[in-house]
Structure 1
């Protein structure tokens, strides 16, 4: 069994691992997770608290960034 390459995991300015750019079928795909307040207007005051945090996953081609 061939070993798949590990995706590049980026750290944000806050040291979090909430984004990556893996290559799938020759295309670089970018994904990231953002942590918002329940109204999806501002960033969450405490991303670890699910009571006050809504998570948003963004997926796109890295070339579109």
Structure 2
């Protein structure tokens, strides 16, 4: 698997919400549409990846402060049928990417 390719695909999903599916938890939805829009922009701009929060270099997880709240995003890789993990997260033809945005307290 190519970490560089996985990183590229994860960045694409995180910054444009294309190349996968996006979900938000009830706590995020309760912030309202305008706040959610601002949050998605903040997540797209997030670049504080380090070996502490991104040990594999895939940019699949982040935690950030947003308007006084702690927010987490997590990207996961599923097979084409959403039944199991992807056999190769670097290959978008066999991978369904999902980004979930949640309040840290919902984790």
Taking structure 1 as the reference length, what is the TM-score of the superposition?
0.77
Cα distance between partner residues in 1 of 2:99 and 2:59: 13
Does 2:88 correspond to 1:55? no
Give the structure with the larger helix fraction: 2
Structure of greater Rg? 1
SS of the residue corresponding to residue 42 of structure 1 reads coil
Moved over 3 A (4+): 6-9
RMSD: 1.7
The equivalent residue for 1:11 is: 54
Partner residue in 2 for 1:35: 77
Q: Structure 1 unaligned runs (5+)?
A: 1-5
Matched pairs, number: 58
After TM superposition, give the deviation of residue 7 of structure 1 in Å.
6.4
Partner of 2:88: 46
Q: Give 3-state SS (helix, strand or coil) of 2:88's partner.
A: coil
Structure with greater strand percent: 1
